[in-house]
Chain A
Amino acid sequence: MTRKILIVEDDIETAAYMERGFVEQGYAVDRTADGREGLFLATGQDYDAVVLDRMLPGLDGLSVLKAVRAAGVQTPVLILSAMGALDERVRGLRAGSDDYLVKPFAFVELHARIDALIRRSAAGTEAPPSRLVVADLELDLLSRKVTRAGRPIPLQQREFQMLEYLMRHAGRVVTRTMLLEGVWNYHFDPQTNVIDVHISRLRQKVDKDFDSPLIHTVRGSGYMLALDG
């Protein structure tokens, strides 16, 4: 089934860049540069996700978002904004957004986040699982134990959290920023690429003694946990 995305962005170049990217990835895309029209489309049609700019002509992004939520529409919304301070993020999340991405951004980052949002909203109706399973890798959220092919893998707390995050997004790209936000709750970018080293440690424990690697590096964007990269 083709997934449908609404892009509300008044900068033509940026909007075209996103549209091209999403279409290449097999999404159907609707695009508008006007806040009012964005609101009209978001409430009138069924989208899998909405990318919403904050500074818009007609009606600003946060007002659009509030109106969409007030209309009872629960489509996942990612706010895209040049305003990156933490208080701005908080305002965005309070208004009802599901994620917040600061401009400038790389398309892989946006795609990974949108992908995660769509996945999460599709799974939202099910009861939260108490264990995550990918191939022969099992992660028990209650006992906080990890096994692969029945063999226990001892992990430290952060390693466990990273693996949990990767497994929840199994088969999808997870960027370094997503890991920093999702596991450490940091919204800044450490100058050294510390995440790579954490991943390689995790890899040592999860993949080293097994034939098929599960944690793959996706060049230029991040990581992916899957049976075959």
Chain B
Amino acid sequence: MSVTGQRRVPVRLWRSVTVRLVVASAVLSTLTIGVVFGFLYWRAVGVVEEQAADTVASEIRGLAEHFGDSGLLGLVRSVQERSDITSEAEPVYLIVDGLGNYLAGNLMAWPPVIPPDGRWRKVELYRRGGGQPILIGARAHALPGGVRLLVGRALDGRVKIQDAIGEAVLWALAALWAMAVGGGLLLSRTILRRVDEVAAINRDVMVGDLGRRVPVRGSGDEFDRLAASMNAMLDRIEELMVGMRTVTDSIGHDLRSPLTRLRSRLERIQPSETSPTERDQALDDALGDIDATLDLLNRLLEIARAESGLQREQMTKIDVASVAVDVAELYDPTAEEAGLSIEATADQPVMLMGHGELLAQAVSNLVDNATKYARQHVRVEVSLADGSVKVSVVDDGPGIPEEDRERAIQRFVRLDPSRTGRGSGLGLSLVAAVARLHGGSLVLSDAEPGLRADMVMPISRG
């Protein structure tokens, strides 16, 4: 990785998917913590309050009993004693007589919102001697003789719980955020490093180093799969580039000679020196050169199109047998004229996902070749074996020596230099390209005597 790449890490971190995910998950966890602690708080407060309510209820029962035993005076004394104790629970007491006059306790006056029915109520009240109103929970009880008794507890425990839980929330959040950020950084660093690796190789390839490949670690993870498919793509691109280079080199080479010939021919036509018949002849020859050159170009383009694989889209289910028989029939009169016999054998239809036009052209190239070299017979056979269809064209001519067969399929190779007059040296390479387009290959072998050309193509496609 380059130095500039390193420096740009923070910016990319912020844009990176990982960091965004980490932030999103942190936000989600924060919400979860809020809900959990909120629930805890609500329950804790509830429990504390229930406890206070129970305590108050039993205290009222005790004081009522005391009133029954030792009368109003005993009750008042007992309440006065209890009011003086400042315990943690901060109890609240009040006794009033039938007219509502204060008898004892630490409240200023009887709160009108609390009827003496023994039920638990929450209310904000002023305490005797205290400045701030406080929230209390209380129960009131009516005693014989119109005396009313109120017992309550300040509910300030709530605040303490709030504080404790708030603190816990803060700590939990701090820990969570630290983990999210730390983990996220670590995770995205690891991922970004592999992304950078791929990007760096992409840059190398773009600059022109087509041989570069993304390393595959063998772990089979997503990055390995990405690397494998990228490498496959790069392989294909390199293959196409090499093919293209070969074609342009060959075209350059092969077009140069007819064009040079054409040029000199046209140059020779000097109106003052040449006779009209010579001129006509030269013009005819020039037209012939142009046609040959155009023909060459067309054939090269056909091969390039077949090799590009673009024409796979046009493949349909076709009967290869009838394609081959039709081509054989097209050549039949020509062969007969040359004293040859063409025999086409195809017992049954052989269906294949294929490009009918290109297959016909390929078979036509093979038959064309065979009729040029055969002595007496040309055989066209279509057979099925091992899930493949084999289209064979066999002649009884001189054949091709084994060491030359590989070369014969290459572009522009004419094995017999004395035959430069005919054929562009592209016929067999088109056949090979068409076979490859159909997932197969062209195999040349010895027919003893003669040449046997087999297009072998799998039929288990599509």
| Interface contact A188-B314, CB-CB below 8 Å | no
Cβ–Cβ < 8 Å partners of B423 in chain A: 191
Whether A86 contacts B314 in the complex (CB less than 8 A), given A188-B357, A189-B295, A191-B368, comes out as yes
Cβ–Cβ < 8 Å partners of B364 in chain A: 186, 188, 190-191
| Interface contact A197-B294, CB-CB below 8 Å | no
Q: How far is the CB of B135 from chain A (nearest CB, A)?
A: 82
| Interface contact B330-A194, CB-CB below 8 Å | yes
| Interface contact A186-B333, CB-CB below 8 Å | no
Number of B interface residues in the complex (CB < 8 A): 29
Whether A187 contacts B295 in the complex (CB less than 8 A), given A158-B329, A192-B371, comes out as no
Cβ–Cβ < 8 Å partners of A184 in chain B: 326, 330
Does chain A have a CB within 8 A of B149? no
Does chain A have a CB within 8 A of B69? no
| Interface contact B314-A187, CB-CB below 8 Å | no
The listed residue (A84, A86, A191, A194) touching B365 by CB distance below 8 A is: A191
Find the A residue at minimum CB distance from B295. A189
Number of A interface residues in the complex (CB < 8 A): 20
Interface residues of B in 263-319 (CB under 8 A from A): 294-295, 298, 301-302, 305, 310-311, 313-314
The listed residue (B294, B357, B368) touching A104 by CB distance below 8 A is: B294
Q: How far is the CB of B249 from chain A (nearest CB, A)?
A: 23
Whether A190 contacts B330 in the complex (CB less than 8 A), given A85-B305, A104-B294, A197-B337, comes out as yes
Cβ–Cβ < 8 Å partners of A90 in chain B: 314
Chain B 415-456 per-residue mask, 1 if CB under 8 angstroms from chain A, else 0: 000000011000100000000000000000000000000000
Does chain A have a CB within 8 A of B331? yes
| Interface contact A197-B314, CB-CB below 8 Å | no
Does chain A have a CB within 8 A of B78? no
Cβ–Cβ < 8 Å partners of B410 in chain A: none
Find the A residue at minimum CB distance from B362. A188
Find the B residue at minimum CB distance from A187. B357
| Interface contact A87-B313, CB-CB below 8 Å | yes
Whether A190 contacts B368 in the complex (CB less than 8 A), given A85-B305, A87-B311, comes out as yes
Which 8 A-B pairs have CB atoms at the shortest separation, nearest pair first? A197-B333, A188-B361, A197-B334, A191-B368, A194-B334, A190-B364, A201-B333, A86-B357
A→B interface (CB under 8 Å): 84-87, 90, 104, 158, 184, 186-192, 194, 197-198, 200-201
